[in-house]
């Protein structure tokens, strides 16, 4: 019975001991790696509009409607672009309402697990009304730009503006994110100051 043990295979494959070589008559493909670095970066852009409901007793924010537009230049893979933008949308909502990195006075992280660091779930992230604008970049041969940023970057400002608008009757001003319930209640009822 012919065979090779796993130990023999491991011994042969162990770099620095026996090594493996390609048979002399077997053609070997030539490999080449190259990089393209454009002279100037091409930036994507995005726009967001948010409608919220703010519970003035608990400080909880509910996003009722989200409209999101972005321009990533030439769209090479529509499914990939949509996934990037939707993921960015969820990340932006997390930045706006939930995610807060806290540190002690001596710089030690206090938010070290998901018990301390809140993230939005699918329940808190509505599916946005999404539209694409395609304006190819003149700065690279494919006309492409980034695709995830258009979903992430505008969301915190949109949410903060929507919350401030909802709290206008209270004279609340929003100046800091994430908009945790404590910050929202402080802005509404003026715990120490009228800004969140």
Residue among 1, 149, 164, 176 flagged as catalytic? 149
* 128: CB partners within 8 A, 6+ apart: 66, 67, 68, 86, 89
Active site residue 149: yes
Here the contacts of 132-135 (C-beta below 8 Å, separation 24 or greater) are 132/69, 132/70, 132/71, 132/72, 132/75, 132/81, 133/69, 133/70, 133/71, 134/71, 134/72, 134/73, 134/74, 134/75, 135/71, 135/73
Whole-angstrom distance, CA of residue 81 vs CA of residue 64: 24
> Within its chain, how far is the Cα of 68 from the centroid?
14
CA–CA gap between residue 98 and residue 101 (Å, rounded): 10
Beta bridge partners of 73: 144
Tell me which residues are annotated as active site.
Answer: 149
């Amino acid at each position: 019975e012919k065979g090779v043990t796993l130990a023999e295979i491991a011994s042969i494959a162990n770099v620095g001991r026996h090594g493996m070589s390609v048979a002399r008559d077997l053609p070997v493909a030539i490999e080449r790696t190259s990089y393209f670095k454009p002279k100037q970066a091409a930036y994507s852009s995005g726009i967001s509009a948010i409608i919220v409901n703010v519970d003035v007793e608990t400080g909880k924010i509910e996003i009722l409607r989200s409209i999101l537009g972005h321009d990533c230049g030439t769209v090479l893979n529509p499914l990939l672009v949509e996934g990037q933008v939707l993921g960015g949308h969820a990340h932006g909502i997390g930045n706006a309402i939930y995610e807060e990195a806290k540190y002690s006075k001596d710089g030690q992280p206090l938010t070290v697990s998901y018990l301390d660091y809140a993230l939005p779930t699918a329940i808190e992230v509505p599916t946005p009304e999404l539209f694409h604008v395609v304006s190819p970049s003149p700065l690279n041969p494919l006309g492409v730009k980034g695709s995830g940023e258009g979903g992430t970057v505008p969301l915190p400002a949109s949410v903060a503006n929507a919350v401030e608008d909802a709290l206008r009757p209270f004279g609340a001003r929003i100046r800091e994110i994430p908009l945790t319930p404590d910050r929202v209640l402080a802005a509404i009822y003026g715990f120490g100051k009228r800004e969140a």
